[in-house]
């Protein structure tokens, strides 16, 4: 999210909602893992890879576009990580 959605990260961090947002993303990913294991009979490792690629860290996000957003600075990232 630091690279793909830096403005959203800043806003959620400033409003105190970043942890809640990230927890929701993790819950979505875990639900997808469970579904893929049950319905598509994937291994847990394969399902985690798919969930990560779809929900947690999509490779085709805005950072991969021709006009990517400016990512959060290392200092901003460090400050956010230490507060979580």
Per-residue pLDDT of the chain (84 residues; tens, 9 = 90+): 888 899 999 999 999 999 999 999 999 999 999 999 999 999 999 999 999 999 988 888 888 889 999 999 999 999 999 998
Full-model pTM = 0.81
What's phi and psi for 41, nearest 5 deg? 55, 35
| Dist. CA 76–CA 65, nearest whole Å | 22
């Amino acid at each position: 999210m630091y690279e793909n959605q830096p403005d959203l990260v800043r806003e959620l961090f400033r409003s105190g909602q970043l942890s809640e947002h990230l927890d929701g993303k993790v819950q979505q990913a875990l639900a997808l893992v469970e579904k893929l294991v049950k319905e598509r009979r994937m291994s847990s490792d394969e399902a985690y890879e798919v969930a990560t690629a779809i929900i947690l860290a999509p490779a085709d996000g805005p950072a991969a576009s021709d006009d990517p957003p400016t990512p959060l600075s290392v200092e901003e990232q460090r400050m956010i990580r230490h507060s979580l």
